[in-house]
Amino acid sequence: MRKKSEWRRLMNSFGYATSGIRNTVRTQRNMQIHVTMALLVLLLGWFLSIPKGDVLLVFFSVFLVLILETVNTAIEKSVDLTVGDRCHPLAKAAKDAAAGAVLLSAILSVLVGVYVFLEPL
């Protein structure tokens, strides 16, 4: 009986995580842009038959951006919940730092893209 409830809790955890990803993609314009670009880049990699090592670099950079955009959304929503309409300097700093992390990962992805796709194109 105990194992069944542990399995159910694990499955619920995956459901919550999936729901969070779906909600982020559905409601966040930047995430929609990132997902669209990710699909285009992955299709381009498939079309150009890039080497397996380069595919790994592309997947890593794509998922890094998607992960950080999801975390950024969580931070923004949490700050908005606690601060509301007020503009506290610490709330702004938290939101700006999270957005900065997404920007850094996007820059990394562009650099990886130039490294991987420049020669085949």
Query: Distance of alpha carbon 93 from its chain centroid, rounded?
Result: 20
Q: Among this protein's residues, is 69 annotated catalytic?
A: yes
Ramachandran class of 59: left when φ > 0, alpha when ψ lies in -120 to 50, beta otherwise: alpha
Give the C-alpha separation, 49 to 35, whole Å: 21
CA separation for the pair 86, 58 (Å, rounded): 40
Do residues 113 and 44 lie in contact, with contact meaning Cβ atoms separated by under 8 Å? no
Among residues 6, 69, 76, 119, the one annotated as catalytic is 69
Catalytic residue numbers read 69
